[in-house]
Amino acid sequence: MNPIKHLSCCVALLCALCAQAETMTGKNGMVASRSDMAAEVGSKILQQGGNAVDAAVATAFALAVVYPSAGNLGGGGFMMISLADGRVFAQDNREKAPAAAKRDMFLDKNGNVDRNLTVNSLQASGVPGTVAGLLDALTRYGTMTRQQVLAPAIQLASKGFALNDDLAGQFAENLEGFRPYPASLAKFTHDGTPYKAGDMWVQTDLAATLQLIADQGRDGFYKGTVAEQIVKEMQRNNGLISLADLEQYQPIWREPVHGTYHGNDIWSMPPPSSGGILLVQILNMLEPYNIGKLGFGSAATGHLMIEAQRRAYADRAEYLGDPDFVKVPAAKMIAKDYARQRFSDFDAQKATDSASIGAGKWPEESPQTTHFSVVDKAGNAVAMTTTLNRSYGNRIVVPGLGFLMNNEMDDFSSKPNTPNSYGLIGRDANEIQPGKRMLSSMAPTIVTRDGKLVMVTGSPGGSTIINTVLEVVVNVLDHGMNADKAVSSPRFHHQWMPDNVRYETGAFTEDAVTELKKMGHKGLNGSGFGIGDANTIVKKDGVLEGVSDPRNVGGVAGY
């Protein structure tokens, strides 16, 4: 099949989707985000002389105000920082299990997992890491004060902003989930009546909390009034987080996962995220093949990538967890000789049965996460992915503080070989232990070449995160696409178990789908909804191209 003809076909099929993409070019700085208001906040920080870290911290705090389903103070995530001098850092601000957490805490008297407890209770909340992570990054690598980077978020919360259709619709969809909690109902409705697009949304309690953080730093969240209110709410509703849990929380700076692909350096997040290891492992398996020549969306390319995804995700289930609690063979998993060994049974004409590769599944976080990318004039870059786990976390707003708590404890394996709320099975490496961080698929990623920035990307999407990032990277590096095409082009996903292929309309032609089925690939279920939300920045010939994924409302701002 002519790959150019096929690419044109796919782009035509997605013309309506692509038309909604937010794109922008600039030379001095760029922010790509799920929210146009948050992107604008970050861009203004850059224009005021802040660097990429300053802008990232400001964007993240703004997302807690303008995109509350995933932007947060009560959750956590991961941040990759690439400095213009070539140094790269990985920050883990993932939530932790409280000290009172127990291995079997979500099992009922019959030994079965209580699904309500794992997602809809304060027992589901891990110790939040976002605030500590953002402030620590600002102190180490930023140039502005807390007051400067928090000022836009405080103003958005205190003065309010007009709700768009997207946010008003989200609030209405989640109304029944908010209804049992007075503080949640007060925040997200007009006395129980849904907000409408165009209504002004003022968050006085959240503004006060943000002001405490601006004035007192981490002590404004992890000690004092805020911490005491969090713990009181925990005690009222059988939650586990204590004052000591909050005070003792620290983000961890970890060694980035580093791989190479066709002369490019791939920098991504290490465990407790599985994202970086799997990304590099898959790219290692693909590197010997000329994907650009095979063609975007062809059966040959799809077969090759699906088989690599299948093997990497099988390894994820067996080996990955919090490296502070389990031994993770990271170096082995990202070694190129291991990739050759792992892919030695690849058959170019036939799909592999997942059951013959391994057994068991793994827990994942909800698609309701958010990612943003930032690049400044000097070439510093930040990729950050943050989440509450499910959309709006456990939907519980802490009274008087104005922010939601996460339900990340569901990302642990509540019971060996028992599906979690997403129907996926975990193993001992990801069992609940006090102080442990739950496994994730988040993959904030930075690509450089000869020490110079090439691209910044990442995505929400649970287990689809890794393949979303993979395909955006391959689209740029192998297929030569610009940022807009790389992000807008349709995607596909395979995660070992369940053994089926999910794809967006246009990811494969009808002939390619027929051929993949003949090879033995299962499922091949076309999807009317999007995979991932890859807000991305690509730098080429000194020009930054930023794009917010057209699969969702978003924004990009640069200059």
Predicted local confidence at residue 136, as pLDDT: 98
Angle at 115 between CA 113 and CA 117, to 5 degrees: 95
- Who wins on pLDDT, 529 or 147? 147
Predicted local confidence at residue 317, as pLDDT: 83
- Long-range CB contacts for residues 114-118, cutoff 8 Å, separation at least 24: 115/421, 118/407, 118/409, 118/410, 118/414, 118/420, 118/421
pLDDT for residue 14 is more than 60: no
Query: Catalytic one among 369, 386, 445, 448?
Result: 369
Predicted local confidence at residue 368, as pLDDT: 75
- pLDDT tens digits along 132-185: 999 999 999 999 999 999 999 999 999 999 999 999 999 999 999 999 999 999
Res. 429 pLDDT band, cuts 50 70 90 = confident
Q: Determine if the pTM surpasses 0.85.
A: yes
Give the start-to-end residue ranges of the domains of the chain. Answer: 26-253+373-422
* E strands in 262-400: 264-268, 369-375, 381-387
Q: What percent of the chain has pLDDT over 90?
A: 85
pLDDT for residue 9 is more than 80: no
- Rounded CA gap, 365 and 465, in Å? 10
- pLDDT tens digits along 260-286: 999 999 999 999 999 999 999 999 999
Res. 526 pLDDT band, cuts 50 70 90 = confident
Predicted local confidence at residue 463, as pLDDT: 86
- Rounded average pLDDT over 364-388: 89
- Who wins on pLDDT, 44 or 21? 44
Predicted local confidence at residue 13, as pLDDT: 37
- pLDDT tens digits along 494-510: 998 889 999 999 999 89
- Rounded CA gap, 114 and 106, in Å? 6
Angle, helix 36-47 to helix 52-66, in steps of 10 degrees: 150
- Rounded average pLDDT over 386-400: 96
- Rounded CA gap, 553 and 535, in Å? 11
Catalytic-residue membership of 369: yes
Angle, helix 299-319 to helix 275-286, in steps of 10 degrees: 140
pLDDT for residue 19 is more than 70: no
Q: In what order do the strands lie in the sheet with 525-527?
A: 492-493, 502-504, 525-527
Q: Which tokens in the block code for residue 320?
A: 């990955």
Ranges 163-177, 347-361, 514-528: which has the least confidence: 347-361
Predicted local confidence at residue 418, as pLDDT: 53
Cis bond before residue 367 (omega within 30° of 0): no
